[in-house]
Structure 1
């Protein structure tokens, strides 16, 4: 990559709390890169190239920003002038870790303001959630500006959730021969898993901080189901985080067993008398119980077939490369935020082939 421009004098050092040592960060990135196949042997790479010739990384910007806010807002990170940079620091730290994995193509997807078709189906959808924290509201425009200065595509479609945008992009990319990675802590994306479509999820507590690849094998080991059955399971047990009702009396213990046995929600509803669990059978026999299950499945199913111009643009628009200005604007912004370590990491990233 081209040399990074020396754009401005560095600002005074910020009062930051280090979350990990540089050596630890390199170990995390290296581990994830190896797990993703970024450092495969020549023979492994040859086998992979027979099916997947390109790699696309889709970032769930809204979820990553929320996670960054709640992880760092209590640390009171700020510049010497008193500007709160907690959320921005957390987001940029995660973004740099993803960029250091060297994906060829990349985009960050955010939820747009306003309601979606799911609110029309179910007015109480996500109705239990508190308002977006003020600190996150203030940070989002700054994050968008930083992403634009990095020349990373931002996709935000009014009336469409980020999940559906990511689902449709992932499906199109897979059909076009891409290996697709989705960076998100949201379990709803489990339904998209297949060979060639994987998640990058936060590592479990008690392990090195970073991201862990999560694919079909990991899902099946955890849930004893196929990824496409995940929506059927959620249709029964619901999802409190999104206020998805599910069927009363059926929880995360019973739902996987029912779907594992009957295969799909529709097959289960057609054979309710065969259900051995009395409470579940009673609820699924009622009109309300069946309606709740079918509604919940519609709510949790991610769309993968959106045909919008912004989602049909050439893949060349998603290429991850150094900005046209050589990185001057983003370096200036990071220095103004007193994020010296982030500037160093970015400069190193652009100077490494």
Structure 2
């Protein structure tokens, strides 16, 4: 039965804009003065379609704002990513201008990623008996899914038909072969994450990590019962507890960022 609680749509600004930028680059949309607009078009199209389809009472956006505590923890965090093209920054500025023109509040916090801000705001909304739908272009926020939080995962590469998929707890369980949302940081702690350069445990892939977590639930419990681990995984795991726990911390979205949700402003 669908929830009767009001809905807050939280937009992961950078993730959605970056997906739109790469997905629509070949379209090459530009204004009459030559300014690139393809990422702006993709971002706003997905945002407006989501609002039209899901009818949130409240809408807010969060963006990344530079260096975060994860960079302080691990100098190689997100290392190896290509330099962001100038055309992306140019269009991101335009996207933010449009969001302000729509009177949609923007939440950011120095030292934290947009995911952390979104996680914090979603927990505050739940305490107000408000559901949250996170609109994003990547899967990191699936770890936040619970009775109050869903994730609308956008894929701008789909040019015809539906280009979003809504994830509740059942959809997360299905995608990750039985893992719960609360186990997804553990999953990245074991298998790592090449996109964020999270190391994980060498020799443990996604299938092995899922199998281990279905048996042991968490990285901590796995290492507490290492003697019970199937032999084919023991050699890779041995001596890697600190690395696995460190990787899990890097992958865990924090939900206590010093920001305060103002629902009236987001209405």
* Normalised TM-score (structure 2): 0.94
Cα pair distance change 1:190/1:142, threshold 3 Å: same
Matched residues in 2 for 1:217 and 1:236: separation? Answer: 23
Name whichever of 93-102 and 183-192 sits farther off.
Answer: 93-102
- C-alpha displacement of 1:205: 5.6
Matched residues in 1 for 2:159 and 2:9: separation? Answer: 26
Deviation digits for residues 72-116 of structure 1 (CA, Å, limit 9, x no counterpart): 121111223322211211112112112323211010110002x11
Aligned residue in 1 for 2:129: 177
- C-alpha displacement of 1:64: 0.7
Aligned length: 264
Q: Which runs of 5+ in 1 are unaligned?
A: 1-43, 320-353
- Alignment of 1:299 with 2:250, yes or no, is yes
Matched residues in 2 for 1:268 and 1:206: separation? Answer: 43
- C-alpha displacement of 1:283: 2.6
Whether the 8 Å contact between 2:134 and 2:152 is mirrored in structure 1 is yes
Per the alignment, in what secondary structure is the counterpart of residue 242 of structure 1? coil
- Alignment of 1:55 with 2:3, yes or no, is no
Aligned residue in 2 for 1:281: 234
Q: Which runs of 5+ in 2 are unaligned?
A: none
- Alignment of 1:253 with 2:207, yes or no, is yes
* Segments ≥4 residues shifted beyond 6 Å: none
Whether the 8 Å contact between 1:236 and 1:293 is mirrored in structure 2 is yes
Whether the 8 Å contact between 1:202 and 1:209 is mirrored in structure 2 is no
Aligned residue in 1 for 2:80: 128
- Alignment of 1:104 with 2:69, yes or no, is no
Matched residues in 1 for 2:159 and 2:263: separation? Answer: 38
Matched residues in 2 for 1:162 and 1:151: separation? Answer: 19
Matched residues in 2 for 1:99 and 1:191: separation? Answer: 23
Aligned residue in 1 for 2:168: 215
Whether the 8 Å contact between 1:216 and 1:227 is mirrored in structure 2 is yes
Whether the 8 Å contact between 2:125 and 2:261 is mirrored in structure 1 is no
Matched residues in 1 for 2:264 and 2:254: separation? Answer: 23
Matched residues in 1 for 2:98 and 2:158: separation? Answer: 29
- Map 1:110-189 onto structure 2 (within 5 A): 110-113=63-66, 115-189=67-141
Aligned residue in 2 for 1:314: 262
- Map 1:198-213 onto structure 2 (within 5 A): 198-202=150-154, 208-213=161-166
Matched residues in 1 for 2:143 and 2:231: separation? Answer: 26
Aligned residue in 2 for 1:236: 190
Name whichever of 95-104 and 205-214 sits farther off.
Answer: 205-214
State the superposition RMSD in angstroms.
1.7
Whether the 8 Å contact between 1:236 and 1:250 is mirrored in structure 2 is yes
Q: Which has the higher contact order (CA 8 A, sep 6+)?
A: 1
Cα pair distance change 1:83/1:222, threshold 3 Å: closer
Deviation digits for residues 108-130 of structure 1 (CA, Å, limit 9, x no counterpart): 110002x1111111110001111
Name whichever of 168-177 and 94-103 sits farther off.
Answer: 94-103
Cα pair distance change 1:244/1:98, threshold 3 Å: same
Aligned residue in 2 for 1:340: none
Whether the 8 Å contact between 2:124 and 2:261 is mirrored in structure 1 is no
Whether the 8 Å contact between 1:55 and 1:179 is mirrored in structure 2 is yes
Cα pair distance change 1:143/1:318, threshold 3 Å: same
* Normalised TM-score (structure 1): 0.71
Whether the 8 Å contact between 1:201 and 1:211 is mirrored in structure 2 is yes
Per the alignment, in what secondary structure is the counterpart of residue 56 of structure 1? strand
